[in-house]
Amino acid sequence: MMKALSFVLLAGVAFAASTNDPAEKDVLAAMDAFKRATIARDGAALSKLLADDLTYTHSAGQEQTKAQYIDSIVGGKSVVEELVFTGTNVRTYGDIALVKGRVDLSHSKTNVVHMNILHVWRHGPHGWQMVARQATRLTQ
């Protein structure tokens, strides 16, 4: 009985530790910085947040490199007025973090795309950087 109780208590402590992962706060801060940089068309900030080997996949299937994504945002080819993330879930595996959730991306007041997203972040010498993004458009 005592062993069983000890196991339950240790399992509870392990679960609490995993849900209070300090990296989660840093990853969410990086996600917020990515959001702000995208809306502000801040190429310098995006350059710091995106890994050189980024694969950015849009909900319609097109893929972009880091340079292509930054050029489309800074150059105005892709206009993002607002990004609203909901249901965000962060799971970390050492220096890798998976961020899953929903996003409502507003290109304008009448052009809003609703998607599920998966962002993959890697922690390295420059902090957390996005290495991959996959989006799936939700049906109406």
CATH of the domain at 131: 3.10.450.50
For residues 9-34, give the mean pLDDT: 71
pLDDT of residue 19: 55
Residue 27's pLDDT band (cuts 50, 70, 90): very high
* Residue range(s) defining the domain that contains residue 44: 22-137
Strands of the sheet containing 82-93, edge to edge, are: 63-64, 50-57, 127-137, 111-124, 96-108, 82-93
Q: Is residue 1 predicted with pLDDT exceeding 60?
A: no
> How many domains does the structure of the chain reveal?
1
The pLDDT of 106-116, averaged and rounded, is 91
Give the pLDDT confidence score for residue 10 in this predicted structure.
Answer: 39
Assess if residue 8 is contained within a domain: no
| Range 79-88 burial, b when 16+ CB lie within 10 A, else e | ebeebebeeb
* Residue 63 located in a structural domain: yes
Amino acid at 101: G
The answer to whether residue 6 sits within a structural domain is no
CA 95 to each of CA 56, 62, 128, 131: distance values in angstroms, whole numbers, following the listed order: 19, 27, 9, 12
State the DSSP string of 3-57.
HHHHHHHHHHHHHHHHHT-HHHHHHHHHHHHHHHHHHHT-HHHHHHHEEEEEEEE
Does the pTM of the predicted model rise above 0.85?
A: no
Phi, psi (degrees; rounded to nearest 5) at 63? -115, 145
Which of residues 56 and 6 earns the better pLDDT score? Answer: 56
